[in-house]
Amino acid sequence: MRFAKFPLTPNPSHDQGRGEFKDFPVMLSLKSLLSGVLAIALFLASGLAAAVPEIQHWRTANGVLVYFIPARELPMVDVQILFNAGSARDGERPGLAKLTNALLEEGAGDWSADAIADRLDRVGARFSASSRRDSATIALRSLVDPRYLQPAVETVARLLKEPTFAPDALDRVRQQMLTALRERAQSPGAIAQDAFYKALYDKHPYGSPPDGTPASLNAIARAEIQDFHRRHYTAANAVVALVGDLDRPAAEQLANALVAGLSQGEPISPPPPVSPVTASQTIRIPHPSSQSHILIGQVGVSRADPDYYALYLGNHVLGGNGLVSQLSQEIREKRGLAYGAYSGFSPMRQAGPFVLNLQTRNDQVDTALQVAQTTLREFTANGPAAQTLEEARQNITGGFALDLAGNGKLVGALGVIAFYGLPLDYLQNYIGTMNGISLEQVKIAWQRHVQPDRLITVIVGGGQSASKPATGS
């Protein structure tokens, strides 16, 4: 697991969606595209809070919350529609949320999957569907010219309103997911991630494997998918994020057109609180690999936790800033035990994980573990050095504007703000908030949330024994 620099960006460890963006047709000259991108970069690279555009918001006629940022540099629009329909809603059918989401573009009304793809290709629109633990997302990118935008919007609106979930499409996508599971079972990194989440969350909804299991995928019936879509893909469980070359009336019209077909539905309750780790546990999983994949961590924080800023700033010193972080210095530079070591918080609706991640030779596992645990323990007890923390703060705030450069990044951040109900002035206040965090606040936050003597450790590598509990860290 690698961790994104900007804390609003969905973490790659959360399940990535299917549906790769198709090549965008050359409807604009390369010169105009490059100049537009340069204009965005120059606009945002000032790093000033005042340069961050204001978020506009309203509700559609059927009550869907919309967040909008105008971006007039390019004649394009990016849209995300996020539903409270992630794998935490799978219940007794792991993989149900992802399978439902993946089938949306496989048929709608009397359109086949090929017809849908052709409709989008003809107007140069890019479409994707993805599912994570908390949310399921539909994304659209299009030119704003009505000749291209209107057919794209009509297509996506129909996908949301009238998915067919045809039996042949269900069988095909189910087989694709089963194949992906078989491939995942051969990847030591994926095995480690799955085992870590299972150990950390146990029977909590976050412990449900988003990709499902062979047994659960084979058991999912078409009627269950239809029911999941009926209950979760509703106006009461949706938010819309819009960024693009539109004025407010045009943005309102676009949002209404996309979600007008959604039934009202009932709000889905949030997942229950997550129980903290009460004792250390080490899980060793044999794998015929020359290197061992190691994850060390515990329950972290939710998106709403006020300590997240301080934890994020501190983690930039510990393991969030690539090869210059303390973990990397201790494990890579001083001892040559791994190419790199990383750490990060992945906040969700409820407390997401805090994880240290590294790979090392099988014969160096115990040494690498000791160094990682010692580094974490000392950091939690003592906090970062004042100068190091200031350098981390400058790195974060100095790169903030570039982390939002481009409509794609901006709409991703906006989607997170909308879905998790973060303040409307989050972007404007981000740099000021980060600059206001003291060294003492970082120390207190880390000691409040991180317990180095209560860690889940997962080791996947060759020549190892079966899983076993550990009595200490």
Same domain, 184 and 46: yes
Same domain, 233 and 293: no
Same domain, 41 and 81: yes
- 112-145 pLDDT per residue, tens: 999 999 999 999 999 999 999 999 999 999 999 9
Q: Is 16 a member of any domain?
A: no
Domain count of the fold of the chain: 2
* Mean pLDDT value of segment 446-453: 97
Q: Is 25 a member of any domain?
A: no
What is the spatial distance between Cα 372 and Cα 209, in angstroms, rounded to a whole number?
Answer: 27
* Mean pLDDT value of segment 389-411: 92
Same domain, 297 and 245: no
Same domain, 40 and 117: yes
3-state helix, strand, coil in the chain (%, to 5): 45, 15, 35
* Mean pLDDT value of segment 254-265: 97
Q: What is the mean pLDDT of the chain?
A: 88
Scan for tokens 């988003």, then name that residue: 210
Give Dmax over CA atoms of the chain in angstroms.
65
Same domain, 173 and 307: no
CA-based angle 320:324:326, to the nearest 5?
Answer: 70
- Please report the pLDDT score of residue 322 as a whole number: 86
Same domain, 190 and 321: no
What is the spatial distance between Cα 188 and Cα 218, in angstroms, rounded to a whole number?
Answer: 24
Compute φ and ψ for 8, nearest 5 degrees: -85, -20
- Please report the pLDDT score of residue 51 as a whole number: 63
- Residue 53 pLDDT more than 70? yes
Length of the chain: 473
Q: Is 77 a member of any domain?
A: yes
Compute φ and ψ for 208, nearest 5 degrees: -65, 125
- Residue 35 pLDDT more than 50? no
Q: Is 240 a member of any domain?
A: yes
Same domain, 290 and 433: yes
Residue 355 is encoded by which pair of tokens? 């994880």
- Residue 408 pLDDT more than 80? yes
Strand partners, 127: 140
What single string gives the DSSP state of each residue in 132-143? -SS-EEEEEEEE
Same domain, 96 and 198: yes
Same domain, 354 and 241: no
Q: End of a domain among 208, 227, 259?
A: 259
Same domain, 123 and 40: yes
Q: Is 23 a member of any domain?
A: no
- Residue 406 pLDDT more than 90? no
Q: Is 117 a member of any domain?
A: yes
- The more confident residue out of 40 and 391 is 391
- 60-91 pLDDT per residue, tens: 999 999 999 999 889 999 999 999 999 999 99
Nearest 10 degrees: CA dihedral of 449, 7, 138, 88?
Answer: -10
Same domain, 246 and 287: no
What single string gives the DSSP state of each residue in 211-222? T--HHHHHH--H
Query: How would residue 389 be classed by pLDDT, with cut points 50, 70 and 90?
Result: very high
Residue 408 is encoded by which pair of tokens? 């794609």
CA-based angle 81:84:87, to the nearest 5?
Answer: 115
Q: Is 17 a member of any domain?
A: no
pTM confidence score = 0.88
Three-state secondary structure call for residue 208: coil
Q: Is 247 left (phi over 0), alpha (psi -120 to 50) or beta?
A: beta
Residue 151 is encoded by which pair of tokens? 């057919």
- Residue 259 pLDDT more than 90? yes
What is the spatial distance between Cα 425 and Cα 417, in angstroms, rounded to a whole number?
Answer: 10
Q: End of a domain among 259, 294, 323?
A: 259
**Burial of 256: CB neighbours in 10 Å, binned 0-12, 13-18, 19+:** middle
CATH code (residue 402) = 3.30.830.10
- pLDDT > 90 in the chain, percent: 82
Range of the domain at 347: 281-461
- Please report the pLDDT score of residue 142 as a whole number: 98
Q: Is 371 a member of any domain?
A: yes
Residue 455 is encoded by which pair of tokens? 């860690």
DSSP E strand boundaries for 60-135: 65-70, 76-83, 107-108, 111-112, 126-131
- Please report the pLDDT score of residue 225 as a whole number: 98
Comparing 39-53, 170-184, 339-353, the range with the smallest average pLDDT is 39-53
Q: End of a domain among 259, 291, 318?
A: 259
